[in-house]
Chains A and B, each alone.
Chain A
Amino acid sequence: NAGVTQTPKFQVLKTGQSMTLQCAQDMNHNSMYWYRQDPGMGLRLIYYSASEGTTDKGEVPNGYNVSRLNKREFSLRLESAAPSQTSVYFCASSRSGAISYEQYFGPGTRLTVT
């Protein structure tokens, strides 16, 4: 049982390049999330998926797209990277939330855009 896994762990991009961050969970959770965390700050929600086949915008969706590929996988795509997107990106998953939204986080992807 690996929990939530993210790839890659580190990435350096040049301005304008594109990339996809991968996330997978093996806990059979319905909900999945993408957050970004800037230095010394809290997490900000980019997008979430409450169930397979649905996605919704969070607080800071601009410049990102997501795909809920299946119940296990939720990817985040940067189409044209900008220095302002330099951050640590965390993926998380949780059960449906009827009782609790306990979220399980992955180890993060550290992205630098130059």
Chain B
Amino acid sequence: GESVGLHLPTLSVQEGDNSIINCAYSNSASDYFIWYKQESGKGPQFIIDIRSNMDKRQGQRVTVLLNKTVKHLSLQIAATQPGDSAVYFCADLLGYGQNFVFGPGTRLSVLP
């Protein structure tokens, strides 16, 4: 089946630096993508989404970039803070129904 994966299982960044979390997807028909943040012991929390007719979308301190040519998605977090420490997931909608496919996640650790 189709899958959405992440390049790195862990990422450590200094507080105040920018973070970039990557995601690859395999289905060229995917037309919607979401980034989630999951803190320990909690359910995932929506961060930002993007449709395939867009290349970039910005939120508060976050930017999602979509490169359809290489089927790559990234989440950029500006001025990373200790509260950003969590596991980040990308999810992909396969273009029909509401059958979301999640990647395995990247753990972001913010160093003081």
Contact = CB atoms under 8 A, between A and B. Distances in A.
B88 to A, nearest CB: 10
B104 A101 contact: no
B61 interface: no
Interface bracket on B? 20 to 34
A25 to B, nearest CB: 12
A79 interface: no
A50 B97 contact: yes
B89 interface: yes
Nearest to B96: A56
A90 B93 contact: no
Interface string B78-93: 0000000000010101
Interface residues of A, number: 28
Contact of A43 (B1, B42, B89): B89
Given A100-B49, A104-B46, A50 B98 contact: yes
B71 to A, nearest CB: 17
A33 B91 CA distance: 14
A6 to B, nearest CB: 9
Interface in A87-114: 90, 92, 94, 97, 100-108
30 contacts: A31-B98, A33-B100, A35-B102, A41-B104, A42-B102, A42-B103, A42-B105, A43-B89, A43-B91, A44-B102, A45-B99, A45-B101, A48-B97, A48-B99, A50-B97, A50-B98, A56-B97, A56-B99, A58-B99, A58-B100, A90-B43, A92-B43, A94-B98, A101-B93, A101-B98, A102-B46, A103-B44, A103-B100, A106-B43, A108-B42
